[in-house]
Structure 1
Amino acid sequence: MASLIQGYEYDIFVSYRQKDNKGDRWVSEFIEALKIELDKTFKEEISVYFDVNPHDGLLETHDVTASLNEKLKCLVFIPIVSRTYCDPKSFALEHEFKAFVELASRDQFGLKIRLHDGNVANRVLPVYIHDLDNADFRLCESVLGGVLRGVEFIYKEPGVNRPLTRLDNEKKNLNGTKYLNQMNRIANAIEDIISGMRTEPGDYGNLPAEGMPAVEKTYTQEKSIIVLPFENISPDPDQEYFSEGLTDEVISDLSHIPDLLVISRSSAMTFRGSRSTIKEIAEKVNVRYVLEGSVRKASNNLRITAQLIDSVNDSHIWADKYTGTLEDVFDIQEKVSQSIVNALKIKLSSREREKIHERPIDNVFAYDCYKRAYSGIISYRKERIDYGLNLLQKGLDIAGENAVIYAGMAFAYFQYVNAGIDQEKNIKKAEEYAQKAFNLDPELAKAHFVMGCIYALNGNLGKAMDHATRALAGKPEDPEIMIWVALGYSIFGANEAAKSLISRCIKIDPLNPLNDSFAGRNYFFGGKFHLALDPLLAAYNLTPESGMNQFWKALILVYNDRAGEAYEFICESVKDPGRDTWTQLTMFLKYVIKRDKDNLNSLLTPDFIKTHKTNPQNSYNIAAFYSYLDEKEKSLEWLENAVDHGFINYPFLNEYDPFLENIRGEERFKILMKRVKHEWGRYEVLKRIIR
């Protein structure tokens, strides 16, 4: 049977080792189930090459025939990746996997395909039937020249690592996956790849491996826009806040439109004062349209210009000028947003129109105070936060009680806490003003975000995630909320949910330096330490001065059997060991690597212990380090503290983390894991996401 695309022999080639099909004939059953699912997915018949008697054994006993090379001319290559497949002596790995990668890299499509949603997929679509060790992953990834992503058909229980079958109960499976659902996922992935190949051949797959980013860049969505910071051309340079506020509000308006991809404020603001061309800016953030403009504010008078540009040909789609007074700013803002919608021919629902017209602070002078306060509040400087709080109070005096202003005040008090200023007093004030906001609007996203931060700081991850997810429900396109919720999901072990949020963040906030870091940490807390390496190293390279990124670079090197390199890196890079809690942890790790208990003990001041015991993630790290040193009592003490504060990622603690291996046989650990499993299973957020 011919392929759907002329010039190819088969649509799908399935590669496997014969020993993986012995006994229960798992591979044969997989092929039959796959064909049934493909029949449900495609209108046409899909051709699948599957050799019931594949070559196997030592390489020197086999030659690759011309016939096999012809069969490898396929659209999608599916290796059944097992512990035996990743073997230099495997015929399947050497003469099928490697041969396909070489052939596909040279054909008209290349190895990577652009999908309809703008994402990029590899034509190698692995099916995992065992968890692999790092050496096996590195072997396969060295062939592919990049990260090996695929679909897992793995059944996991404590001490169990085998292929998933249709009879397995997903509630007992630590991976939480069901055979038929995974089969549907792989059929859909095949459909996406083949559909992409049939409609638009591209050259993405011909990029060299070293040219690929750690977090893959997506292709441009047709209806996508960046709102550049409006230029302040006012006589008074202090009116910059007003230009920023207008930029924020237009971004906020447009973000309510599901059919339009809008780049976030944080990424857009990086282009303030930039000399880059429109085309360069659009390419950097993967959008087609660019809005730019200027604001002139003199006393109460306003003059605003705006123009929408198509970056493909640098043509002006729409431009206009608006004059008025400060009282007219809401009307002008709405007109700008509506003009963009009309220019891009987007149809709005009644709810979307309501969102654009919505004004949480309806008094323009109170709104002006709110916008002027923001830059001071985010400064981490006491006098600037004081200034911001005074402006917010002035806004309240003008407008009366207002939920958004109260939430802004809660955030200001939390910023005092972040800056280390009178923390106990200010955390209570932050809670007080968040509650005032809730009294007026129980679902206000800004207030839930602040409460999530407060609970996280206090070491209550459960309540922190409750508030964070409610904040995200209220503002589902807010990347600041999104990225922190993603980290919470990662820490809890809801890795697929975290991955989905991180992917959305990369689209709407592509220049956020946290993207690589949190993608790496998601792999880490999912036990995929080899996959965590590249994004965590990329995060460090982006902001090498960050204590957080220094710690995670050192840690992931150790987890990838590169402890000597990690030690040298810490010695060269960490100059101020007492700078922050991340740096303290990095120094702790340095002494753990060398088993230097004298210097290790010198770090354990009362302040160190108090600070790190209130942080569940730090407590877990220290527990893992003590286990590595085989100091079981100390390890269990810190681990129990981590669990008490909400670190309940059961699969990670019970099985994935190799550092905890020294304590897993302890009765105290086993009792603790029964509790963790129970809490992990009943936690409401995880119930909604994992099952």
Structure 2
Amino acid sequence: MSSDKKHIRLSLRDQKFLDKALRIVNDHLGKESFGIEELSQELGLSRSQLHRRLQKITGLSAALFIRSVRLKKAVELLLEGDLPVSDVAYRTGFSSPSYFNKCFHEQYGFPPGDIHKQKTSEIDQRTFFIPEALSDSKAGYIKTSKKRKIYFYLFVFMAIIIFTIIYFLSGNRFGKIQIHDKSVAVLPFKNFSDKQENQYIADGMMEAIISNISKIGDLKVISRTSMEQYRESPKSVRQIGSELKVNYLLEGSIFQDEENIRITVQLIDIKSDEYIWSDNYDFELRDIFSVQSQIAERIATILQTKITSEEMSRLQQKPTSSPEAYDIYQRAFYYYINYLQQRLETDYTMALTLFRMAINEDTTFADAYVRLADLYWIRNYRGEFHSNTFMDTVYLLCRKGLRFDPRSSDAHRLLGQYFFETGKREQGITELKTAISLNRNNASAYDVLGFYYNWSGQWETGIPAIFTSIQLDPYSVLLPLRYCYLARGYLDILDFEKTFYYSQKAIELSEGSRPSLGLAYWINAHTHLMCGKGEEALEAAGKLADINEIGALRIQAEVYCHLFRDFEKSIDLYQELTRRDSAHYNYRHRYAYALWEAGDYDSAKAMFETQIRTFERELELGRVERNDPHYNLAGIFAFLKDYDKAFDHLKKHHFTSGLEIYAERDPLFRDIRDNPEFKRIIQDAIDEKELIRASIERKISEDFGL
């Protein structure tokens, strides 16, 4: 930890040792090969003895002690102004100017070439504290008589009492940090190791610290994915804090030398733009979990955060007893994050292979099971959607992970997804709530919970949950998708203004993200269709066609069939749709209607009967796919004049996607459109949505200031 340079009173033995160590390092200052081994040999000590002596006297590891002496000499040479930076680097024993620049910047916060722009006092404050050896005369000063010691301790005792009285009586708390709302973001850690391939260790440390402090319910913590954009950002601390809407930033770096690691962390108060805490941690790889916990606990202490006994227990829990398994897991996580962001096959394969290797190294490693389950879900969701074994692999992996860590938030999140998608909706919601109770900063859990609440028609809970996920992860690669979720939610409650607003935001942010862009264009086209605006729907479908031809064809066919009543054109489009994607089925009752109107009654009736069986099977499976089976069955039965079944399904349908508005012009309902019962069902749905919109507007205004 950096400190102001000062004299401390050392024993004569420690003074002589330090003086000799400083002289030896300075004598070999220009030798790049001079390191811990050489210093320990010249001092006649083992490496561990050397480390303990220097740690006791200076608070520095042996490696950092040598580097600090080199940097201090470098500052002197740079201030003289006669040598270029590269020469200073080699004269002070650094292997290269680039490595020198890294070390210098880590220590002083600016590149060596900018040294003349700094104040000398500020440079001194950022120099690692190396106690200066005292002269023999000063050494004698340490030999204080017992009487003087007694007076000294009495003086210190009285000073403490007086200061304490003043502290509590005064409104001004001397030296007390002003704590703002406890919101924290962790910037990507810098890797100052010689090997750039060690970046995964820096990323792993960043992830672990975020994960640990996220377990503290009293803290709001920004998700990892939102922080990647600041990896090489020139933005100021205030800019970053303003964009993330947080009050504190943690920045850090790592330096690894074989098995020894040094981590430097600094906590910044954004409002004052000042460091309120900084520290260095020197440790061996096997002690990494202890250091991760210490850093999280220290941040909580500095921010005066309440930590429950349960949270403390989770902070101190080691994810694995195997350093080898953890190292493999960190490598896997690096590729896992890359896959989330870019969906590259090579990243998927590496992540999959390495997660499996981590499990082979430690079969009780819960996090590895859970990340493997997450990876499997992302990759195989669509492919297994209509399978009887849909996502069973995810279920088994999560159960195994929870066996070894019952408090895994992401395992409960994934189980929530599994249960909800397989028809066990209440169980799914319960698992997602458990995930959030274990980690109130789990943006993905809020995201999924909001998504499923919306799909279940519980928009008053779902839409705020999605806003929470955006607040916790404001610059995630998933942000465009979350805007789409909001647009879809507002479409469901018939707030078309906000539907178009959030779909447009998704479009603006979706460059390079075809799934989000396609969904946003589809929402726009579908909303225009629901409102009966054929030309606008076709325009949006035209943009969708570049990304999702199948989705675009369906919108176009329905516009020509239902709004323009151009059955010949719509049949051509439905035929093309069927040719391109024979597995796509949820539009075929619309295709059947076009055939019927064109006079092909046999083909139309056969297609209607197939659709009835398909949608009834969908209801049996309990799938959540938004094919609106009750609405579609109601339309088919109404058109086939089986009105009892039509009304039975219509009463069971929970209206979404603007279908209340569309139903009044949907040609499948033309024979019952004037039926009082039909009108009542539709009007009740519209009235209910008006009340829901008012309730959500109040909640969003109160909780998010929007």
TM norm. shorter chain > 0.5: yes
State the distance in 2 between where 1:374 and 1:280 align: 29
State the distance in 1 between where 2:588 and 2:232 align: 44
Residue 571 in structure 1 maps to residue 542 in structure 2: yes
- Counterpart for residue 548 of structure 1: 519
1:389 to 334, 352, 362: 352
Check the 8 A contact 1:622/1:638 in 2, yes or no. no
Residue 667 in structure 1 maps to residue 644 in structure 2: yes
1:305 to 264, 274, 278: 264
Q: How many residues are treated as equivalent by the alignment?
A: 446
Q: Secondary structure at the match of 2:203?
A: helix
State the distance in 1 between where 2:209 and 2:417 align: 27
State the distance in 1 between where 2:409 and 2:224 align: 17
1:283 offset after TM fit, Å? 0.8
**1:35-82: CA deviations, max 9, x gaps?**
xxxxxxxxxxxxxxxxxxxxxxxxxxxxxxxxxxxxxxxxxxxxxxxx
Using a 3 Å threshold, how does the CA distance of structure 1 residues 452 and 345 change in structure 2: closer, same or farther?
closer
State the distance in 1 between where 2:636 and 2:491 align: 14
State the distance in 1 between where 2:508 and 2:302 align: 40
State the distance in 1 between where 2:335 and 2:523 align: 30
1:423 offset after TM fit, Å? 11
The amino acid that maps onto 1:524 is L
- Counterpart for residue 469 of structure 2: 505
Q: Secondary structure at the match of 2:485?
A: helix
The amino acid that maps onto 1:520 is A
- Counterpart for residue 247 of structure 2: 288
Residue 367 in structure 1 maps to residue 340 in structure 2: no
Residue 329 in structure 1 maps to residue 288 in structure 2: yes
State the distance in 1 between where 2:217 and 2:399 align: 31
1:471 offset after TM fit, Å? 3.8
Using a 3 Å threshold, how does the CA distance of structure 1 residues 648 and 574 change in structure 2: closer, same or farther?
closer
1:259 offset after TM fit, Å? 2.5
Residue 252 in structure 1 maps to residue 211 in structure 2: yes
1:323 offset after TM fit, Å? 1.6
For structure 2, which runs of at least 5 residues remain unmatched after alignment? Answer: 1-178, 562-568, 598-603, 655-695, 697-706
1:302 offset after TM fit, Å? 0.9
**1:8-28: CA deviations, max 9, x gaps?**
xxxxxxxxxxxxxxxxxxxxx
- Counterpart for residue 366 of structure 2: 403
- Counterpart for residue 477 of structure 1: 441
1:585 offset after TM fit, Å? 2.0
State the distance in 1 between where 2:494 and 2:590 align: 14
The amino acid that maps onto 1:550 is Y
Using a 3 Å threshold, how does the CA distance of structure 1 residues 468 and 673 change in structure 2: closer, same or farther?
farther
State the distance in 2 between where 1:543 and 1:244 align: 26
Check the 8 A contact 1:414/1:426 in 2, yes or no. no
Using a 3 Å threshold, how does the CA distance of structure 1 residues 605 and 298 change in structure 2: closer, same or farther?
farther
State the distance in 2 between where 1:656 and 1:283 align: 48
Q: Secondary structure at the match of 1:321?
A: strand
State the distance in 2 between where 1:672 and 1:423 align: 23
1:366 offset after TM fit, Å? 1.8
Q: Secondary structure at the match of 2:318?
A: coil
Residue 593 in structure 1 maps to residue 559 in structure 2: yes
**1:547-575: CA deviations, max 9, x gaps?**
22221222223334543123123224522
| 1:485-504 pair list within 5 angstroms | 485-504=449-468
Q: Secondary structure at the match of 1:594?
A: helix
1:224 to 183, 194, 200: 183
1:223 offset after TM fit, Å? 1.9
Check the 8 A contact 1:627/1:662 in 2, yes or no. no
The amino acid that maps onto 2:581 is F
2:410 to 429, 432, 446: 446
The amino acid that maps onto 1:552 is I
Residue 354 in structure 1 maps to residue 313 in structure 2: yes
**1:171-226: CA deviations, max 9, x gaps?**
xxxxxxxxxxxxxxxxxxxxxxxxxxxxxxxxxxxxxxxxxxxxxxxxx9722111
Q: Aligned-residue CA RMSD in angstroms?
A: 4.2
- Counterpart for residue 518 of structure 1: 485
The amino acid that maps onto 1:367 is Y
Tell me which moved more, 488-497 or 329-338.
329-338
Residue 433 in structure 1 maps to residue 397 in structure 2: yes
1:349 offset after TM fit, Å? 2.7
Using a 3 Å threshold, how does the CA distance of structure 1 residues 422 and 250 change in structure 2: closer, same or farther?
same
State the distance in 1 between where 2:450 and 2:521 align: 21
1:315 offset after TM fit, Å? 1.3
Check the 8 A contact 1:628/1:660 in 2, yes or no. no
State the distance in 2 between where 1:353 and 1:483 align: 26
Using a 3 Å threshold, how does the CA distance of structure 1 residues 485 and 607 change in structure 2: closer, same or farther?
farther
**1:387-433: CA deviations, max 9, x gaps?**
33332333234333233322233334445425969998995544443
State the distance in 1 between where 2:408 and 2:593 align: 43
Residue 242 in structure 1 maps to residue 201 in structure 2: yes
State the distance in 1 between where 2:312 and 2:434 align: 23
Check the 8 A contact 1:377/1:415 in 2, yes or no. no
State the distance in 1 between where 2:390 and 2:459 align: 34
- Per residue, is there more helix in 1 or in 2? 2
- Counterpart for residue 217 of structure 1: none
Q: Secondary structure at the match of 1:324?
A: strand
**1:229-255: CA deviations, max 9, x gaps?**
111222222222221211112112222
- Greater gyration radius: 2
- Counterpart for residue 154 of structure 1: none
Q: Secondary structure at the match of 1:234?
A: coil
Q: Secondary structure at the match of 1:226?
A: strand
Using a 3 Å threshold, how does the CA distance of structure 1 residues 373 and 363 change in structure 2: closer, same or farther?
same
Using a 3 Å threshold, how does the CA distance of structure 1 residues 658 and 303 change in structure 2: closer, same or farther?
farther
Q: Secondary structure at the match of 1:270?
A: helix
State the distance in 2 between where 1:523 and 1:602 align: 33
**1:86-141: CA deviations, max 9, x gaps?**
xxxxxxxxxxxxxxxxxxxxxxxxxxxxxxxxxxxxxxxxxxxxxxxxxxxxxxxx
Check the 8 A contact 1:636/1:668 in 2, yes or no. no
State the distance in 1 between where 2:633 and 2:443 align: 29
1:373 offset after TM fit, Å? 0.8
1:332 offset after TM fit, Å? 2.0
Q: Secondary structure at the match of 2:279?
A: strand
State the distance in 1 between where 2:267 and 2:408 align: 32
State the distance in 1 between where 2:642 and 2:180 align: 52
Using a 3 Å threshold, how does the CA distance of structure 1 residues 421 and 352 change in structure 2: closer, same or farther?
closer
Using a 3 Å threshold, how does the CA distance of structure 1 residues 477 and 568 change in structure 2: closer, same or farther?
same
1:523 offset after TM fit, Å? 1.7
The TM-score normalised by the length of structure 1 is 0.56
1:493 offset after TM fit, Å? 0.3
1:282 offset after TM fit, Å? 0.7
1:279 offset after TM fit, Å? 0.9
State the distance in 2 between where 1:524 and 1:411 align: 29
Check the 8 A contact 1:416/1:422 in 2, yes or no. no
1:320 offset after TM fit, Å? 1.5
Q: Secondary structure at the match of 2:225?
A: helix
Check the 8 A contact 1:492/1:647 in 2, yes or no. no
The amino acid that maps onto 2:310 is R
The TM-score normalised by the length of structure 2 is 0.55
1:292 offset after TM fit, Å? 1.0
For structure 1, which runs of at least 5 residues remain unmatched after alignment? Answer: 1-219, 578-582, 614-618, 678-689
